[in-house]
Structure 1
Amino acid sequence: MRVASIGIVVGIIGIIVLGIFNSSFAAEPHELSVDTRQRLVLAPAQRYMMLAEMRQMLGSVNGILQGLATGDLPVAEKAARATGMTGSVDVNPHIKARLPQQFLEWAMRTHRGFDMLADRIHAGSSQTDIIRELATLTGNCVACHAIYRLDEAR
């Protein structure tokens, strides 16, 4: 009787252990995901500056959309201007030296595009034209993020 009780307890523990191992293996992908984007390796402070600039761009997109949604074009213009050339850290010589020419050209074109968008908002362009241009600018962001990734030098 005692051997049977020990056998039952060992069996239960075995089932629990197998359940834990099986659930952890099931949660992990069977194939490793490989990020094939081009690595841009920056010093920690440089990477932080670039990521801060990207967050600023996203904030500008949100500000533009909020301004358009509420009919407050000065808010939309100010948000677009914040991501124009004056908001660019890509011209920092320490960062610029570590970035590929294509990336820099794309970034400058995007910053200039935000300045042009701010000018068009100020000039009274239609909401449809503003949104169309914003879609083009965010298309640059999507394409860039599909090609590049920022890594931190270690």
Structure 2
Amino acid sequence: MTAAVRKAERADLAAIVAMLADDVLGQSREAPGDPAYEAAFAAMERDPNQFPAVLEDDGEVVGYLQLSFIPGLSLKGMLRGQIESVRVASSRRGQRLGHVLLEWAIAECRRRGCGMVQLAMNKSRDDTLRFYKSLGFVTSHEGLKLSL
């Protein structure tokens, strides 16, 4: 495997959105082709604390995550890394590509001086929870969301 992580480019957007839509939850909440994705990507490009990352293998985008760096005052001003929207192309699952992507994100957080890496996931994703725990993540907090 020659997979490598790099910063996402606009040319990757269609492949990223396709991965976001390619699962049970994504089918009901994503809309490939919607111009809102372009605007969101442009906002991420302008924000130095956002790193949309793709995993590329043999010229094909096969994985994605958004890595955000969150400065804060709690925990003595600790910088946190926040991982969102982790996806691996459905045709490539089971090949340890998710491990490559998450291990890169954790290392990047260390490199940038983060004291913690955090993420949230839908509670219906039992396999995903096992995957994150295998990487050392612990279920230390309960998260809440409010749709607006």
Range class of TM-score, shorter chain: under 0.3
TM-score (norm 1): 0.23
Considering Cα pairs closer than 8 Å and 6+ residues apart, tell me whether 1 or 2 has the greater RCO: 1
Structure (1 or 2) with the larger CA radius of gyration: 1
| More strand by percentage | 2
The structure that is helix-richer by fraction is 1
